[in-house]
Amino acid sequence: MCLSIPAKIISIDGVKAKVSIGNTISEASLQLVENAEIGDYVLLHTGFAIEIINEKEAFETIKLLNEVYGNDENYT
Protein backbone atom coordinates (compact mmCIF):
# COMPACT_ATOMS: atom_id res chain seq x y z
CA MET A 1 0.00 0.00 0.00
CA CYS A 2 1.27 3.47 -0.86
CA LEU A 3 0.61 6.57 1.14
CA SER A 4 0.82 10.17 0.05
CA ILE A 5 0.56 12.97 2.55
CA PRO A 6 -0.53 16.59 2.25
CA ALA A 7 2.28 19.13 2.26
CA LYS A 8 2.18 22.91 1.88
CA ILE A 9 4.55 24.54 -0.61
CA ILE A 10 6.58 27.26 1.13
CA SER A 11 9.12 28.05 -1.60
CA ILE A 12 9.84 27.11 -5.21
CA ASP A 13 13.14 27.02 -7.10
CA GLY A 14 12.61 25.71 -10.63
CA VAL A 15 11.14 22.20 -10.36
CA LYS A 16 12.11 21.83 -6.69
CA ALA A 17 10.07 23.07 -3.76
CA LYS A 18 10.43 23.26 -0.02
CA VAL A 19 7.30 21.92 1.61
CA SER A 20 5.99 21.98 5.15
CA ILE A 21 4.76 18.73 6.66
CA GLY A 22 3.76 19.46 10.21
CA ASN A 23 6.89 20.80 11.91
CA THR A 24 9.17 19.36 9.22
CA ILE A 25 10.50 21.05 6.10
CA SER A 26 11.32 18.74 3.17
CA GLU A 27 12.27 19.03 -0.48
CA ALA A 28 9.84 17.93 -3.15
CA SER A 29 10.01 17.60 -6.90
CA LEU A 30 7.32 19.47 -8.83
CA GLN A 31 8.02 17.63 -12.09
CA LEU A 32 4.70 15.75 -11.98
CA VAL A 33 2.41 18.74 -11.35
CA GLU A 34 1.74 21.85 -13.40
CA ASN A 35 1.21 25.39 -12.16
CA ALA A 36 2.05 24.73 -8.51
CA GLU A 37 2.41 27.92 -6.50
CA ILE A 38 3.64 28.92 -3.06
CA GLY A 39 0.82 28.28 -0.59
CA ASP A 40 -0.65 25.36 -2.55
CA TYR A 41 -1.16 22.00 -0.88
CA VAL A 42 0.14 18.96 -2.73
CA LEU A 43 0.02 15.25 -2.13
CA LEU A 44 3.60 14.18 -1.52
CA HIS A 45 4.76 10.65 -2.30
CA THR A 46 8.41 9.56 -2.13
CA GLY A 47 9.63 13.11 -2.59
CA PHE A 48 7.38 13.92 -5.55
CA ALA A 49 4.34 16.18 -5.52
CA ILE A 50 1.83 14.05 -7.40
CA GLU A 51 -1.28 16.23 -7.26
CA ILE A 52 -2.35 19.70 -6.17
CA ILE A 53 -5.24 19.53 -3.69
CA ASN A 54 -7.42 22.18 -2.13
CA GLU A 55 -6.94 23.31 1.45
CA LYS A 56 -10.17 21.66 2.68
CA GLU A 57 -9.11 18.27 1.34
CA ALA A 58 -5.64 18.72 2.85
CA PHE A 59 -7.03 19.47 6.31
CA GLU A 60 -9.52 16.56 6.15
CA THR A 61 -6.67 14.18 5.30
CA ILE A 62 -4.47 15.65 8.04
CA LYS A 63 -7.30 15.20 10.55
CA LEU A 64 -7.69 11.54 9.56
CA LEU A 65 -3.93 10.94 9.82
CA ASN A 66 -3.93 12.47 13.31
CA GLU A 67 -6.80 10.16 14.34
CA VAL A 68 -5.16 7.04 12.87
CA TYR A 69 -1.76 7.72 14.44
CA GLY A 70 -3.14 9.09 17.70
CA ASN A 71 -1.34 12.40 17.47
CA ASP A 72 -2.36 14.90 20.10
CA GLU A 73 -0.43 17.60 18.26
CA ASN A 74 -1.91 19.21 15.21
CA TYR A 75 -0.16 17.97 12.05
CA THR A 76 -0.50 21.29 10.23
The predicted-structure confidence for 4-27, as pLDDT tens digits, reads as follows: 999 999 999 999 999 999 889 999
CA atoms of 76 and 52, how far apart (whole Å): 17
74 inside domain: no
Q: Is 19 inside any structural domain?
A: yes
13: left (phi over 0), alpha (psi -120 to 50) or beta: beta
For position 13, which CATH number holds?
2.30.30.140
Lowest mean pLDDT, pick from 1-5, 6-10, 62-66: 1-5
Residue 75 lies in a domain: no
In whole angstroms, give the CA distance from residue 17 to residue 24: 14
- Number of independent structural domains in the chain: 1
- The pTM of this model reads 0.84
Q: Provide the 8-state DSSP code for 67.
A: H
